[in-house]
Each structure stands twice: as C-alpha cells, then as structure tokens.
Structure 1
C-alpha cells in the first residue's frame, strides 16, 4: 500500500511540507559543523529531492549524492537539483565507500526501511570517523495533531479495522525522540541529540488537502485508493467534518517532525 511511483503527485501530497521541514532542519544541523560550505553530503532516501535541494541552496556542498529506491522520485530529484548527483539505490545498503562523506542525512525515510538499524549503521559508515555528522528527521505520526493524525483518527471512525492495520502512528513507533536517540546510540554515534521541528501546513480549502490523498502516493493515499468509491466518500465526509475549517474554508494546522543527529567517533 506504500506506493512511490509518481514524483509530482508526491510533491503535492508531502513534498511541499517536507521542504519546510528541510529549511528548518538544515540550520539546526549546520550549527554543529565547524563550517557548512564545501563539504561532502549524502542524502539517503532522498525522495523527490526536498532535502537535497535545501542542502544545495544553503550549504554550498563540494559534492552531493542523493539515493532512493524509487526511480521516478530520483528522476524528479535530478530535475530539481541539477548540480547534485543521484542514484537509484537502497538507503540500507549505500553504494559508497566507508568514510566518504562529511555529512550523511535522511529525511522522512528511516521509518519506511525494513531494518532502520541497518539504515542508521549505513549512514554512520558513510561519514568520516572523528567528526562526520549523521542526522535524520521523521514525522510525528502518533501524537501531534497534524493533518495526518487527524486523517487516521477519521479513518478510525469509519473503518476501525483499517485504522488498526494501516495507521502510521501504530506502524512507525520509531518516530519518537527517545526511539531515534536509541537508534543513533546503537549505531555507535556520539553527541546524540534530538529536537522537534514544527512547520505550518496551510490549505486553501478542503480540496487542497484532500485531492493529494486520491493520487495514491504514500501510505495514507495508498489506503484511500484501496477503498471503494462509496467508502472513499464516507471517509472524505468524516475527515472534512473533523477539521477546524475557517469561515472562508481554509485550514491552518501544524505538522511536527522529530530530528536527530550524532557524530561518528574515531575508530
């Protein structure tokens, strides 16, 4: 049900918000670097290039490699970051030499890996020992009342079994600061720290929110497209009625991501 096949559709669904997170994540991370320009960056699970684009614009990297398993997403990333280098590859089996990068990052990807610990270990392996920096961020699906949490709460009212099976808050217990901290320390990283990153998610009207869900890119949209037309209409109504729409029909919410970073120690 987790489909990653169309870059533009994913951009409309999540890319516009992940870019806001990337814009706040990058300065939080670079504050831990002696310098942020002229470094070698690796973006594991780069998706459509939201984080890679931010790094390219703000950090002036000497080299930038993004990898993702979705070839359509990699194609979109190449279009958005022409100065970067991108490859179709597994974030849990990175095609890079040991210690080849100064900074390794991953945005909104770790929870989708079959083995997040392997992904964290690969990120750690990819950076140079001593001061290589490893960082990532993931959405808070479970506790923060953003548009995804409200979506799955609406699902629970019309399809309790579907909510139990597919709710991202249930599926991804990794997406909590204490779990991220443990994942990083278990990967052998030091100076580990976590932080919340909140971004506004403003929709012009309910259709602006709902239409990306029917494009099928990602877990929640994949669930929506699995429904019959009648089930979909029932969910759409329940979701709309649960939201604090303004008198003009617009909707202003906040999404939260949890970020983590750490350093690869000397051998």
Structure 2
C-alpha cells in the first residue's frame, strides 16, 4: 500500500530525519578511507550523501527500485564519486566481491525476501568487508509514526494490520542478528541509534502525512475527508505540544553489522 513516487514528499515526511540517523549510523561504522561502498535501497540519497561527506570513499554506488527516488538522489549527491542505478536489492547488477562495504538504510523491511537480499549483499562485498543496515524501530522507538498509528487504530481498529510495528517483525534486535548470522556473517553486533525529531508546529508534523509516501501517509490520503479530519483532530489533542506550539519527539533505529568471512 506504499507509494514511492515522489522523493520530495518523502523528504518532508521522513527523509529529513533519515539524514540524522544516517550520520549517527556512520559514526559507529568503521570502514577505512578509500573504500568502495554499495548503498542498497538508497532512496533519496541520505546515506550516500553521509558517506560522501564523512567517510572519504573512493566511490559509492546507490541502488534502489524506485526511479523517482534515484533521480532525487542523483540531484542531491552530485559528486563524481557517486553513481546510481535502478535495480532490485535481491538481484544486484554488480560483480562478486566488488565492494569493501555494503550498507542499507531504512529499506530492508520493505524487501520481499530479506534473506535473499542479504545473501546478495554478502556476495557483493570482499572477504573481511562490512555488511551493515539499519531499520526504524517501528513498534516502539519511531515516535512520529507510533503516535499516528495509535490514533488511527483508535478510530478504526481494522487499521492495526497496516501498522508498521506489526507488519515488520524483522525490525527488532534478535531477528536482525539472526538474519545476519544466517547469512554467514561474523562478529555480528546490533545497536540502537536515536535522534531527536523536532517539529515547528502541528502542521509541520501533520502535513507530511498527506504526501502519500510510505504506509502511514498512503493510509491517510486514502481516507474520506471526514475520517481524515477526525484523525488530525485526535492527533492534535494527543501529541505533546509545548506552550510555544513546538513538538519534540524521538526516533530510534536498530543497526546491525557483520563481516564477510575469509573464504
């Protein structure tokens, strides 16, 4: 039920917070300068841009199935070291052992077969290289979505089945660790990444849900107008809005890392 047709709308919804998480993720990802990086599910280019800005790579290849997002990433990461291709995370158009590191930001839970995808990422990375990813903690730690789905479920109990916290059981430490271990990766570690998400006012929180990009916005834009107003009003009443109108929430992601064994 997700629509991935507008990089700009995605940026307003969650891309702006994705950039903060990408920077925090790289703080704990040890890859030497001059490495070749593969960014799988690159989306609008948040992680690719962070790698270019902070990791001194020889090159970064961004891969995503959504052509509009790839176009946005190309504009954002206008750097000769960066290249992008529209392709499937489960069937990468790259040679074996062509990269020093594979990374994936906020995309793995949307892949139909995560085991197949991670096997592809392992194939693309040299022995000793890093395979890393991070996903939102939809069930508890991604507050801007948690407030939305809890309010939506109160108005319409059927919507519980659309809630990412229920739809994506992979987005927890134990399943992520098992997925990496099952792929044959060694030294597997899972860690939490948290960032602050501050909104200038209620509209800054609410209007991005009307852009249709992602499960929650896709649900919101398909609602009848009367139901959408009820959801908006319930959120306005529930959210922790400060006296000056601002809203401060937090966003947590789970990051997993492992090394490709020497064969």
TM-score tier by shorter-chain length is: over 0.9
Instruction: Please list every run of 5 or more consecutive structure 2 residues that lacks an aligned counterpart in the other structure.
Output: none
Once the two structures are overlaid, the 10-residue window that deviates more, 103-112 or 154-163, is 154-163
- Partner of residue 117, structure 1: 115
Alignment equivalent of 1:151, drawn from 142, 148, 152: 148
Contact 2:142 2:253 in 1 (8 A): no
TM-score, scaled relative to structure 1 = 0.96
- Partner of residue 195, structure 2: 199
CA distance in 2, matches of 1:109, 1:120: 12
Alignment equivalent of 2:221, drawn from 222, 225, 229: 225
How many equivalent residue pairs?
A: 261
Is 1:20 matched up with 2:43? no
Give the CA deviation at 1:160. Answer: 0.7
- What are the within-5 Å matches in structure 2 for residues 200-215 of structure 1? 200-215=196-211
- Partner of residue 260, structure 2: 264
- What are the within-5 Å matches in structure 2 for residues 99-114 of structure 1? 99-114=97-112
Give the CA deviation at 1:239. Answer: 1.4
Contact 2:199 2:246 in 1 (8 A): yes
**What CA deviation, in whole Å up to 9, does each residue of 1:121-142 have, x standing for no partner?**
111111001x110000000000
TM-score, scaled relative to structure 2 = 0.98
Moved over 4 A (4+): none
| CA distance 1:103–1:217, shift in 2 (3 Å) | same
Give the CA deviation at 1:145. Answer: 5.9
